[in-house]
Amino acid sequence: MAEYAVVSADLVKDRQVVIDLWRRNLADTEHLEEKYDWHFVNSPFGPGHIWILKADGQPIGTTSLGMRPLKLGKAITTAGMACDLAVNKEHRFLQPALMLQRALLESAHAGIQILYGVPNSGGASVMKYVGYRESCYVHRYAKVLRISHYLQRFGKFGAMAPLIGAMADQGFAALQSIGRGKNGRVTQVLRCFDERFDDLWNRLSSEHATLTVRDQRFLKWRYCECPLRKYKTLGLLTEDGSKLLGYLIYTVDHASALCVDLLASDGSEDLGCLLSAWAIQAWHDGLASLSVSCSHSALGAALVHNGFRQRSTTSPGNRREKRRHEQRKTLFTHERHSGADPVLVDRWYYTEGDSPY
């Protein structure tokens, strides 16, 4: 039996050791060096924390915390986001994973008030074992824009598929109200984050009990400087362009537009206008579907009202239901100080942009 030990990594000296462990064990191994520097070394919210698991003195695993600014009630605090649990295949059993997670909980610096993560099913078991709790569910909502994509994907109608698909797309677009008016508002693809985003954050942040700070400083780092993928920002503005009413940030994966962040006032027409404008933009870009993942029930209801369908479920029933739905994700949190009110944490406004990458 190997003798295991966990040590805190030096971000400079142990850089290559950590990257090598990532390369052997993570599913996505592109741009690892750039990811390391962006997320752990150069974050404007403080350097990340990394731990290395050794077996008989040799590095065989790692886990990490990335720093995020978090509005909790009326206060701004620091949240640590657990990520990049990577263990060599021959050591993938409970003890090594538990040792890494316990070291993370015990030795993360005192300024971090909350730790959180949205793990897969295996990681969820480990998080619960070491003391994280389930705070809220993250559901995915989707909207089909082009039926032709799915007809061709599944080989329906053979050679007639392009013609039938084109006719179906036009009818489906009309049925889904793609092209709906903006009621005096204008939408633009915005190339940068400016003071209008700070103004929007100051106006809307009080609508949510807990959410990542979304000022221009954070948005620039998270989406402009991220080396892992390209993002596009759609802004909803007053007619003169002076005031930002909401924004939606998305990336494209194959033929689908994936929303990573969305902020507009609850209970207003702004959210509907923004979603409609996104559908128009994606339609003109030739995309086949839209996808949004979030924890906020009011946002989920607005998505359904605007033609999205919830694709995830808490506990699928029969086999047919399991084929039609995917398992919802769970946001796990660990409040390290008594000041972190669990009621506030359970009302977290979570979007995909709150994930590590």
Residue pLDDT, tens place only, 325-343: 688 999 999 998 655 677 7
Query: If pLDDT is split at 50, 70 and 90, which confidence band does 184 have?
Result: confident
Summarised one tens digit per residue, pLDDT across range 68-115 is 999 999 999 999 999 999 999 999 999 999 999 999 999 998 889 999
Instruction: Note the helical H segments in the chain.
Output: 15-25, 32-36, 94-107, 121-130, 147-153, 161-175, 195-204, 216-219, 269-284, 297-305, 319-324, 342-345
Q: How confident is the model at residue 264 (pLDDT cuts 50, 70, 90)?
A: very high
Model confidence, pTM: 0.89
What pLDDT, on a 0 to 100 scale, did the predictor assign at position 348? 96
CB atoms within 10 A of CB 36: 22
- Chain-centre distance of CA 271, in angstroms? 19
DSSP 223: I
Which pLDDT belongs to residue 178?
Answer: 44
DSSP 10-38: PTTTTHHHHHHHHHHH-S--TTHHHHHII
Higher-confidence position of 142 and 121: 142
pLDDT for 179 beyond 50? no
Per-residue DSSP letter, 215: S
Domain 139-328+339-354: what homologous superfamily? Answer: Gcn5-related N-acetyltransferase (GNAT) (3.40.630.30)
The Cα 215–Cα 194 span in angstroms is: 9
The reply to whether 4-131 and 139-328+339-354 are identical in fold is yes
Give the rounded percent of residues in the chain with a pLDDT score beyond 70.
85
Domain locations along the chain: 4-131, 139-328+339-354
What's the mean per-residue pLDDT of the chain? 89
**pLDDT tens digits along 147-166:** 775 555 655 555 554 555 55
Q: Which residues pair with 140 in a beta bridge?
A: 293
CB 47 within 8 A of CB 60: no
Q: To the nearest whole percent, how much of the chain has pLDDT over 90?
A: 77
Residue 308 pLDDT: 96
Listed residue (140, 106, 77, 130) closest to 332, CA to CA: 130
Kindly state which CATH superfamily the domain 4-131 is placed in: Gcn5-related N-acetyltransferase (GNAT) (3.40.630.30)
Q: At which residue do the structure tokens 């909790």 appear?
A: 72
pLDDT, position 315: 61
Structure confidence at residue 181 (pLDDT)? 44
- For the segment 278-301, the average pLDDT, to the nearest whole number, is 94
